[in-house]
Structure 1
Amino acid sequence: MRCLSHLQIIHNVIIWVLCCVCCKHFSPSYFSFSLVSRDNQTRQIQDAVSNVEKHFGELCQIFAGYVRKTARLRDKADLLVNEIYAYAATETPNLKVGLKNFADEFSRLQDYRQAEVDRLEAKVVEPLKSYGTIVKLKRDDLKATLTAKNREAKQLSQLEKTRQRNPSDRHIIYQAESELQRASLDATRTTRQLEETIDNFEKQKIKDIKNIFSEFITIEMLFHGKALEIYTAAYQNIQNIDENEDLEVFRSSLYPPDYQSRLDIVRANSKSPLQRTGSLKSSLKTVQISNSMPRKEEEEEEEEDDEDDDDEEEL
């Protein structure tokens, strides 16, 4: 029993010394300053996380809409390609070939547009979308820090009440101070962890923003570079269409096969007046020659008859 009483006395002395130390180094003003400092720090971290949550969410929605619009444009272009193919099948040869080549180039462009859509989805939208989970984890860290801070504030308030109610009871005061010290150490630990986490979060955020926008620009430059090349080839295919040859084909399709012989007759009848006068003179000359030939034959026959009469008279 004596040994136990001596141990109890030593224990009480140690408690008294610790209480004195705690009262000296962990005064309410010290804890109040620590709480205010951590409050300001936590508020800044919370504002930074909320800012990222807001603007990254807006960027994600807008980029996703941009990708959907690009995909719709690809679908409309596919419809346009099909219609050009259908129309080209009904046209004249040169126009048919030109339109078909144009549709081939335009269809090839849509393959690159599909690649653009896939890359934007993977390199831009998905990284922004992942920040929803990242922000949720940071809010959980903030919540743990706020819980520890509130526990520290509660223990500080309880210590002050204990000192007011039982200013002479050092044992109760010591217990309250010990609880406050443990709460303060826990709050300090969680705050330091949060500082490290938010520092890494800020570093990763800046890096991700650079990568996301760099990827966006690179993807768009690749697509538009290919688009310029393909549009140039498509333009050349359209310019190579021979209008005159197709026009002749079209005109020939309007008339029957014997149109050419009839056309020659029409052309012959549509000669100039001088040509018609010359041809008339030649035709008259031909008629005169043909008319004079029977007259000569008649005169020769008459002469022969006269000679025959003379012969008969002589006989």
Structure 2
Amino acid sequence: MEANSADPFEWKQTVQTHLNGSKQCRGRAESELQKAAQNANVGSKALDEQILKFESQKLKDLKNVLQDFVHVEMVFHAKALEYYSRCFESICHISVDMDLEEFERKLQASRSPGWQAMMLNQSLTSGSGMSSTQASGFLTSPDNTGSFGESTTSLEKRVGFTGVWKCCL
């Protein structure tokens, strides 16, 4: 209907019908907007919960990895400290005076004419020539106990572990 219509009553009715339709559309639109806002809030809360859950799991995993790493390192260093303690204990048991006496005894024995003759006979019977170090006695000793400079402290005493730094305190 045209706005210039002769009947103002009809025109008023037409305008009210359009207004009522607009109010209904507006009401529907507001209702849909509220539903969409609620759905967005629900989705946002669910996303926040998932983010927090993920972050919590990430922190727990990181904590476990770090704890495992530090534990392994502590065990490694504890073993190292144990071995260093044994080494220290062994070094404390070394007798410098006894080692020096043993060295001097072997040195004197290697310079004796009887020992050099024995070494010469041994090398001639084996068919090999005598090296200068063998002739001077620096590889073997008359009692075949080993080379010069060995400690008189027994291997058992060196490796034995009775306490950390007990011998040096």
Output the TM-score relative to the length of structure 2.
0.42
Output the TM-score relative to the length of structure 1.
0.24
